[in-house]
Structure 1
């Protein structure tokens, strides 16, 4: 009963600012009330609420079920490093890929401390410790008061409690001001999200319109799925599809595959996000539990197919060892 109601409210929140504020407020209250329950109890409640299905943790088979198992069991410290949008840069550099990192103009513990004298006329500002708190800095029309209020409030949040992703729990919250990536040939950047399993790319999620004009998260982003040869697959994961004719295989696609596999090597599964702007590859981020492990996959058989690429028997042995 809760699932269909939440689905309707969430859809309405994308189009109505009042409903959006109500939804965010109720979610904040819910997170506070559930703060002290166990991760496993939370997992089962969250999964049921967001998918309408019962979470099987004793014998997980689907992609989302196995992600939840990893959420509750994998405590590799490298997960925290690579989930931190600032600290992950050191990891990328250690892997010999410094050249794909964007330029950083500053890192701050408080929005009021940002030195605008060292920032170009346009830049991208984001928090390092969560998801979706982003904004484009435009010197000509930037509302500092509104920005400082929003981002200082975000710095006080621990994203771990939103979806019990342990990797976020111990990240020190900071604000990053970095180079704004733009592509003159496209209305918006294309996000290439490489789904990696034990260091091997098996699927690519290509997202368009992921950011709103102000740089914030766009809930109406579109997504197509491709294999590692960039052949289109008629699969939906979380988002609606777009016309496949809108994009083509990047000329240096094999290099993107190479970089994604280098960065994903230590993990049973992760998503490596890259950009490709006129032949130049840029690093985005590494995500371990896409969509909070509640995104619907259709046809359903692919939920089992993708889940089969995560070998929890080997992972259980590694965690115990």
Structure 2
């Protein structure tokens, strides 16, 4: 019942700014009020609230259940480094892949520090310590600096760990990053190649489109298809609606993308490595350890168990 109501309210918040304002406010109040709960109790409440299902932490079997187990039990310091969208750049360089890093124009402790007069015509601005806090700066379009400053300074004060108990975000020092805008030459819309890696081996790929709105903010209506390692389409739905598979083709250097994803994912029992491919040039996006907060429903259901089987939570490194 709660799951159904929350889904309806969340969908309405995407369509109405007033409802969205109150939804975000209520969510912040809820997060603070639940901060005293243990990770285990919070996990079971969060999972049921978002999926309508019971979370089994004592004997995790499915993909999401094992991700929640890792959330609570895996305290590898490298998780924090690789979740930090600024410090992860050093990790990428250490892996010998510095050439796939996007150009960075600056990094700031406060939104007020950014001198927009010194930025190029276009720039992509995001925080390093959370999710979906980003915007596109375009000198040729209206840009409300006051509104931006207020929004990002508020975001810098928030600890994303409390949102979904992802420990890897807990100790990140908040910053704002300004980067070069990556655009597809044909339609200015990036294709996100998201490699699901299990003990350093790519098993599946999420291909997401329309992940950003025209202003660079998060698009809640992004679409996703799922492919195997050989770029064969799989009729699996994970968290997002599917799109017409005939609209994309396998990149020429797809094998090189797999090579890079596997190199970056080597130390982890599971992670998702996000890459872009523009005219053959591969760019690093980010590394994610708990996609969708480990609450995205996988259909058909047997794939939830199959992905879970690929995660060995007790394997010693």
TM-score range, shorter chain: over 0.9
Query: Counterparts of 1:117 and 1:240 in 2: how far apart (Å)?
Result: 40
Are residues 1:144 and 2:145 paired? yes
Q: How does 1:223-242 map to 2 (within 5 A)?
A: 223-242=224-243
Q: Does structure 2 conserve the Cα–Cα contact (< 8 Å) formed by 1:193 and 1:204?
A: yes
Q: How does 1:66-215 map to 2 (within 5 A)?
A: 66-140=66-140, 141-215=142-216
Query: Counterparts of 1:113 and 1:310 in 2: how far apart (Å)?
Result: 43
List per-residue Cα deviations over 1:41-68 (Å, max 9, x = no partner).
1101100100111100011111000000
Query: Counterparts of 1:168 and 1:35 in 2: how far apart (Å)?
Result: 15
List per-residue Cα deviations over 1:16-62 (Å, max 9, x = no partner).
11221121111011001011111111101100100111100011111
Query: Counterparts of 2:87 and 2:21 in 1: how far apart (Å)?
Result: 32
Query: Counterparts of 2:234 and 2:128 in 1: how far apart (Å)?
Result: 33
Cα RMSD between the aligned structures?
0.9
Are residues 1:38 and 2:38 paired? yes
TM-score by length of 2: 0.98
Q: Does structure 2 conserve the Cα–Cα contact (< 8 Å) formed by 1:189 and 1:208?
A: yes
Are residues 1:217 and 2:232 paired? no
Structure 1 range deviating more: 289-298 or 176-185: 176-185
Are residues 1:271 and 2:272 paired? yes
Are residues 1:285 and 2:281 paired? no
Query: Counterparts of 1:151 and 1:139 in 2: how far apart (Å)?
Result: 19
Cα distance change of structure 1 residues 187 and 103 upon mapping to structure 2, 3 Å threshold: closer
Q: Does structure 2 conserve the Cα–Cα contact (< 8 Å) formed by 1:105 and 1:118?
A: no
Structure 1 runs (4+) greater than 3 angstroms displaced: none
Query: Counterparts of 1:253 and 1:190 in 2: how far apart (Å)?
Result: 13
Cα distance change of structure 1 residues 174 and 198 upon mapping to structure 2, 3 Å threshold: same
Q: Does structure 2 conserve the Cα–Cα contact (< 8 Å) formed by 1:47 and 1:53?
A: yes
Query: Counterparts of 1:84 and 1:244 in 2: how far apart (Å)?
Result: 33
Q: Give the match for residue 255 of structure 1.
A: 256
Q: Give the match for residue 5 of structure 2.
A: 5
State the shift of 1:186 in Å.
3.0
TM-score by length of 1: 0.97
Aligned pairs, how many? 316
State the shift of 1:13 in Å.
1.2
Query: Counterparts of 1:118 and 1:169 in 2: how far apart (Å)?
Result: 32
Q: Give the match's secondary structure for 2:15.
A: coil
Q: Give the match's secondary structure for 2:120.
A: coil
Query: Counterparts of 1:122 and 1:187 in 2: how far apart (Å)?
Result: 13
List per-residue Cα deviations over 1:169-210 (Å, max 9, x = no partner).
000000000111011223410000000000000000000000
Q: How does 1:8-23 map to 2 (within 5 A)?
A: 8-23=8-23
Query: Counterparts of 2:240 and 2:217 in 1: how far apart (Å)?
Result: 17
Q: How does 1:29-68 map to 2 (within 5 A)?
A: 29-68=29-68
List per-residue Cα deviations over 1:133-169 (Å, max 9, x = no partner).
0000112322111100100010000000000000000
Q: Give the match's secondary structure for 1:142.
A: coil
Q: Give the match's secondary structure for 1:171.
A: coil
